[in-house]
Amino acid sequence: MNNVRTTVLLAGLTGLLLAIGSLCGGSEGMTVMFVISMVINFVTYWFGDRIVLGMYGAQEVTAKESPDLIRIVAALAQKAKLPMPKVYIIQTDAPNAFATGRNPHQAAVAVTTGMLKVVDPVELEGVIAHELAHIRNRDTLVSSIVASLAGMITAIAHIAQWAVFWGAGRNGEEGSLLGRAMEGLILIILTPLAATLLQLGVSRSREYLADETGASIAGNPLALARALEKLEYHAASKLMPEATPSTSHMFIVSPFSSGSRGLLANLFSTHPSTKDRIARLQELAERI
């Protein structure tokens, strides 16, 4: 199933870039974008996890440097029957965490210093178990690819927008000028939307599944529920300045302040409602 999702996402990227190339340069533009898309597909598949970790300045830590964190990750990885992932720490007061990697053998778990200050050891186990659940459920490859692709699509679209308007400026014909302006408008409006929909290709149902799987690994659904409540509360006041919309879906809670979201905001949110996630975990605790 994850191989199918990965293939669909990569195909979607190629199609979107070809459309951008067609708007900007016709058949020649499509050819250029096809070559670019092949390079991007290769890079994001093999190096997407390193790109994301590098974006946040994540530093790998050892048992000597962070003994308690490494002990928790190792114990839970053993319970989940997973290889020991690499462990990274991100220096920021914003409490959050994510997992990445092509497969369980090349996986990594990253946590922020802010999260280590906010949660207690039992709640930390719930968070780590959630991230290990993403690894076990094979969500991390798709998540890393989406993060890289969404960012690259947005960057390429911005370049293409300037190319369109530059072309319009060199051509004095009114009809051509209007046509170029419309093409630029399409890129400005539709490209961010397409990147968002690409992120939503990593279904929010995967977060619910990771909550459930993680609660099973740790054996304590309420610990994860308490951690989510704390992370959501602190995320509103301790924003992560390094966070980008293209990677927001990777974190256990959105790195951006959610506030009181309306219907439209919920529709395009990369995360399900934290309130709903907590309610599901409480129901799970009652069942077990």
The parent domain of residue 157 ranges over 1-201
Residue 242 lies in a domain: no
* Contact indicator for 119, 258 with CB cutoff of 8 Å: no
Residue 218 lies in a domain: no
**Residue 175, pLDDT score:** 47
CA distance 138 to 214: 13
Residue 240 lies in a domain: no
CA 169 to chain centroid, in Å, comes to 37
Q: How far is CA 274 from CA 117, 226, 244, 254, in A?
A: 20, 11, 20, 10
* Contact indicator for 83, 105 with CB cutoff of 8 Å: yes
CA distance 18 to 229: 43
CATH number, position 4: 3.30.2010.10
Phi, psi of 112 (to 5 degrees): -95, 155
pTM: 0.78
Name the residues annotated as catalytic: 131
CA distance 185 to 210: 39
Q: What would you measure as the largest C-alpha separation in the chain, in angstroms? A: 72
pLDDT along the chain (288 residues), means of 10: 59 68 68 74 78 93 97 98 97 94 93 96 98 91 68 65 56 53 61 61 76 95 96 83 79 74 55 91 92
Residue 18 lies in a domain: yes
Residue 133 lies in a domain: yes
**Residue 141, pLDDT score:** 75
**Residue 75, pLDDT score:** 98
**Residue 13, pLDDT score:** 63
Known binding residues are: 130, 134, 207
In the sheet that holds 108-112, the strands lie side by side as 59-60, 86-90, 108-112, 97-100
Q: How many domains does the chain have?
A: 1
**Residue 255, pLDDT score:** 87
Residue 234 lies in a domain: no
CA dihedral 41, 250, 189, 11 (to 10 degrees): 30
Residue 131 lies in a domain: yes
Angle between helices 2-55 and 140-170 (to 10 degrees): 80
pLDDT digits (tens, 9 = 90+) for 167-221: 544 554 544 556 555 666 666 666 666 666 655 655 677 899 999 999 999 999 9
**Residue 5, pLDDT score:** 57
Residue 264 lies in a domain: no
**Where are the extended beta strands (E) located within the chain?**
59-60, 86-90, 97-100, 108-112
Known binding residues for Zn(2+) are: 130, 134, 207
Residue 151 has which token pair? 């960012």
CA distance 15 to 246: 19
**Residue 84, pLDDT score:** 98
- Beta-carbon contacts of 107 under 8 Å, excluding residues fewer than 6 positions away, are 82, 83, 85, 86, 99, 100, 101, 135, 140
